[in-house]
């Protein structure tokens, strides 16, 4: 069974005539790495937000979003919190506590895990992400790249089935981009399901299993990175890629 199945998804923001998403259909398997691309305003963030009810935009929705065959809206907030992770574009707006260690523990505390389990999980994450040395620091002292690493580590600490990334490198300095991309590459090798919106097309080409290409709220093509990046069918895809590759 697919982890996610999107069927005939159409979404319109309030007071808008034109849908931001029109009749989208695709599925996502456990362990798959999906990259969503297309020019600014084509609907990438709007689509990504539909993968978690707490993030879903307000507006009129038609069609179905199935998580392991169940309507996502019927899956409890708790289960979604534990199994669906989300990392936003800006590292500044998503860290909610004072200290790095607390940030990593926060989601687990909310789910009511035992202290021992939380300590172990947090220590594992700190070690995996190489953040032990600034573990005690306050979040404010961190660089953008470090904050983004903490945001990813926090999502991963929950041991979710899937992590959603919305342009996680766009607010970072160039030297930090490589660092965050390396972390994400590690996740793909670990079998995590990932959906990512990114402008780092070289990275997408190298590590994606599948690419969705969007334009004006439509998926205009989907396929393997080789199909999309090396042999795009649509003129619109070719034009976009000629500017970003």
Residues that bind Mg ion (CB under 5 A): 45
Q: Of 60, 49, 3, 53, whose CA–CA distance to 26 is shortest?
A: 3
Out of Mg ion, ligand ADP, none, what residue 41 binds, judged by CB under 5 to 8 A for its kind, is: ligand ADP
Strands (E), 152-217: 162-166, 193-197, 210-215
CA atoms lying within 13 Å on the CB side of residue 190:
15
What minimum distance in Å lies between the beta carbon of 169 and ligand ADP?
15
44, 83, 133, 153, 185 from 195: Cα distances, Å: 11, 14, 30, 16, 13
Nearer to ligand ADP, 46 or 146 (CB): 46
Nearer to ligand ADP, 156 or 211 (CB): 211
Residue 113: other Cβ atoms inside 10 A: 17
What minimum distance in Å lies between the beta carbon of 105 and ligand ADP?
31
Tokens representing residue 125 in the block? 């994450």
Out of Mg ion, ligand ADP, none, what residue 104 binds, judged by CB under 5 to 8 A for its kind, is: none
Q: Does 13 bind ligand ADP (CB under 6 A)?
A: yes
Q: Of 17, 16, 91, 79, whose CA–CA distance to 52 is shortest?
A: 79
State which of positions 41-80 bind ligand ADP (CB under 6 A).
41-46
Stretch that binds ligand ADP, among 13-21, 112-120, 150-158, 169-177 (CB under 6 A): 13-21
- Alpha helices by DSSP H, listed for 111-143, are 115-128
Residue 243: other Cβ atoms inside 10 A: 9
Q: Which of 3, 6, 9, 20 binds ligand ADP (CB under 6 A)?
A: 20
Nearer to ligand ADP, 89 or 161 (CB): 89
What minimum distance in Å lies between the beta carbon of 225 and ligand ADP?
19
- Residues of this chain that bind ligand ADP (CB under 6 A): 13, 16, 20, 40-46
């Amino acid at each position: 069974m697919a982890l996610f199945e999107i069927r005939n998804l159409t979404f319109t923001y309030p007071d808008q005539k034109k849908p931001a998403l029109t009749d989208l259909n695709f599925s996502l398997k456990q362990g798959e790495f999906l990259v969503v691309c297309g020019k600014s305003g084509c609907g990438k963030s709007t689509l990504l937000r539909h993968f978690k009810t707490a993030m879903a935009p307000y507006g009129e929705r038609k069609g179905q979003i199935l998580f392991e065959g169940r309507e996502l809206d019927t899956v409890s907030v708790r289960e979604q919190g534990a199994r669906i992770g989300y990392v936003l574009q800006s590292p500044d707006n998503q860290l909610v506590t004072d200290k790095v260690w607390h940030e990593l523990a926060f989601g687990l505390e909310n789910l009511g895990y035992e202290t021992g389990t939380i300590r172990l999980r947090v220590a594992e994450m700190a070690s995996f992400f190489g953040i032990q040395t600034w573990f005690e620091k306050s979040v404010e002292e961190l660089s953008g790249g470090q904050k983004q690493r903490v945001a990813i580590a926090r999502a991963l600490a929950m041991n979710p089935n899937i992590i959603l990334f919305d342009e996680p490198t766009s607010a970072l300095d160039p030297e930090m981009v490589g660092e965050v991309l390396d972390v994400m590459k590690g996740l793909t090798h670990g079998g995590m399901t990932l959906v990512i919106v990114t402008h780092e097309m070289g990275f997408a080409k190298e590590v994606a299993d599948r690419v969705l290409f969007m334009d004006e709220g439509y998926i205009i093509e989907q396929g393997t990175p080789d199909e999309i990046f090396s042999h795009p069918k649509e003129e619109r895809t070719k034009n976009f890629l000629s500017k970003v590759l």
